[in-house]
Amino acid sequence: MRKSLNLSPLHRRTVLQAGTLALLLGTRQIARGASIVAVRIWPAQDYSRVTIESDQPLATTQQFVPEPPRLAVDIEGMNLNAQLRELVGKVRPDDPNIAAIRIGQYQPGVVRMVLDLKHAARPQVFSLPPVAAYRNRLVLDLYPAEAPDPLSSLIAERTGASANAAAPAPEAAGDPLGELIASRPRTGAERPAGTPAPAPAMAAAAPAPVPAPAVARGTDRIIIVALDPGHGGEDPGATGPQGTREKDVVLKVAYLLRDRINATRIGGNPMRAYLTRDADFFVPLATRVAKARRVQADLFVSIHADAFTTPDARGASVFALSQGGASSSAARWLANKENQADLIGGVNVGVQDRHVQRAMLDMSTTAQINDSLKLGGVLLGEIGSMAKLHKARVEQAGFAVLKAPDIPSVLVETAFISNPEEEARLRTAAYQEQLADALMRGIKRYFAKNPPLARSRSV
């Protein structure tokens, strides 16, 4: 006899959203008929994500075993199939967190997956209801127990030391699939299925600890520009008519701008770019802001390439935050669209750090917006020298990603990826370099007029 299903509150909600029919049938019947639509793995230093997309919600139980570190997930009402097996071959040898995935038929109607991890981890397992092009998603996020410290990485990069402690070699994972959970005493690190895991990603977002100032030596102040390539991972952003994905193009532009920033000095002080994501994985909007604040960035530049419903929309635009209404209905529309990234990218709402959000709501953004408009103005001017502009002035709307109260923050729509001409241009290395050059010139111009503040400001 199989043990009864143990659904998390989140999962229950998902099931409820499936409607009356679902309630009549009961959850077990639903899960039994589920079939897998796709499996994906998004490896990254911050965390590695495994997504299992299915046509119906999956009922799961999971257990984390710390020694050697591994996560076992049982999918109920499922028989082993080719789609699930694909996961095994999708683990990349250079995945920073996952060493291997084993998968097998644990019991009739129960598939067990075991994720062998490269180091101590804090996993999160949650499900997402259908959104955009996605059906139901079961998400396994594997966060390293010890998150890399971005600030020391930046400083180490500067001094030439290696900031990345080498990941320990994968532990030998000798457990046969079947005996993993059986009769293992529950330890503190293991949670009952359905209990939300602690929020490791958001640990970085906690407002309380103010990191040490980014000063290597008394006179040598590092000027940090946070670059925020939009979307990533499960969230492709906008897609052009030729299939160009926004998340890929903006990451390339961010890399090019990073190179330029890292080779620049302002008033004798070295500059460093800090990327809120440096690979193809999703970063929630609030986490992007929190990451920039954690390194005490002097500027925040979010890079996008958006789409409109008609192919003729064209030109770059630059946005700042608005405290009240949006400066135009188009700006409001765009902000709403960008703010949906968390739904598509996939956020574990059970562990969202509300402290961060509340703390930031209490802080005034008036001064930030004034500085952001200045930054946006010079960036717009420079982009206008090499590309068409959509609007000749900086627009304002309630973009979630621009809400750091203490960092001048702008969002640059580099072009309309939905416009066939602009998409074609965005794909070329030459255009990406011109964009990076223009943004670099704008950043230098901003600092020429608005020298970076001393590092003593309070957070």
List interacting residues with Zn ion (CB under 5 A): 230, 237, 304
Query: CA angle 244-250-254, nearest 5°?
Result: 150
Residue with tokens 């990069």: 157
Integer angstrom CA distances of residue 7 from 27, 52, 196, 292, 406: 9, 17, 11, 36, 41
Say what angle helices 285-294 and 150-159 make with each other, to 10 degrees: 50
In angstroms, give the least distance from the CB of 232 to Zn ion. 10
Q: Which residues pair with 316 in a beta bridge?
A: 389
- Specify the residue, 203 or 279, whose C-beta has the smaller distance to Zn ion: 279
What is the spatial distance between Cα 387 and Cα 372, in angstroms, rounded to a whole number?
A: 21
In angstroms, give the least distance from the CB of 237 to Zn ion. 5
In angstroms, give the least distance from the CB of 316 to Zn ion. 13
Residue with tokens 């419903």: 309
What is the spatial distance between Cα 52 and Cα 395, in angstroms, rounded to a whole number?
A: 39
Q: 119 with 167: CB under 8 angstroms? A: yes
- Specify the residue, 298 or 306, whose C-beta has the smaller distance to Zn ion: 306
C-alpha Rg value of the chain to the nearest Å: 23
What is the spatial distance between Cα 347 and Cα 10, in angstroms, rounded to a whole number?
A: 12
What is the spatial distance between Cα 407 and Cα 367, in angstroms, rounded to a whole number?
A: 9
In angstroms, give the least distance from the CB of 238 to Zn ion. 6
In angstroms, give the least distance from the CB of 334 to Zn ion. 8
- The alpha carbon of 283 is separated from its chain's Cα centroid by a whole number of angstroms, namely 1
- Specify the residue, 194 or 237, whose C-beta has the smaller distance to Zn ion: 237
Sign of the Cα torsion 456, 453, 325, 411 reads negative
Q: 142 with 115: CB under 8 angstroms? A: yes
- Specify the residue, 135 or 304, whose C-beta has the smaller distance to Zn ion: 304
In angstroms, give the least distance from the CB of 402 to Zn ion. 13
In angstroms, give the least distance from the CB of 247 to Zn ion. 8
- Specify the residue, 399 or 431, whose C-beta has the smaller distance to Zn ion: 399
- Specify the residue, 69 or 237, whose C-beta has the smaller distance to Zn ion: 237
Residue nearest to Zn ion (CB): 304
Q: Which of 125, 144, 146 is nearest to 194 (CA)?
A: 125
- Specify the residue, 272 or 277, whose C-beta has the smaller distance to Zn ion: 277
In angstroms, give the least distance from the CB of 14 to Zn ion. 26
Query: CA angle 266-157-404, nearest 5°?
Result: 60
- DSSP label of 114: E
In angstroms, give the least distance from the CB of 306 to Zn ion. 5
Largest CA distance in the chain: 73
In angstroms, give the least distance from the CB of 395 to Zn ion. 15
- Specify the residue, 6 or 239, whose C-beta has the smaller distance to Zn ion: 239
What tokens does 94 get? 């250079």
Q: 410 with 302: CB under 8 angstroms? A: yes
In angstroms, give the least distance from the CB of 413 to Zn ion. 7
- Specify the residue, 33 or 241, whose C-beta has the smaller distance to Zn ion: 241
What tokens does 265 get? 């000095």
**140: helix, coil or strand?**
strand
In angstroms, give the least distance from the CB of 110 to Zn ion. 40
- The alpha carbon of 65 is separated from its chain's Cα centroid by a whole number of angstroms, namely 26
- Specify the residue, 64 or 431, whose C-beta has the smaller distance to Zn ion: 431
Q: 145 with 119: CB under 8 angstroms? A: yes
- Specify the residue, 237 or 398, whose C-beta has the smaller distance to Zn ion: 237
- Specify the residue, 62 or 418, whose C-beta has the smaller distance to Zn ion: 418
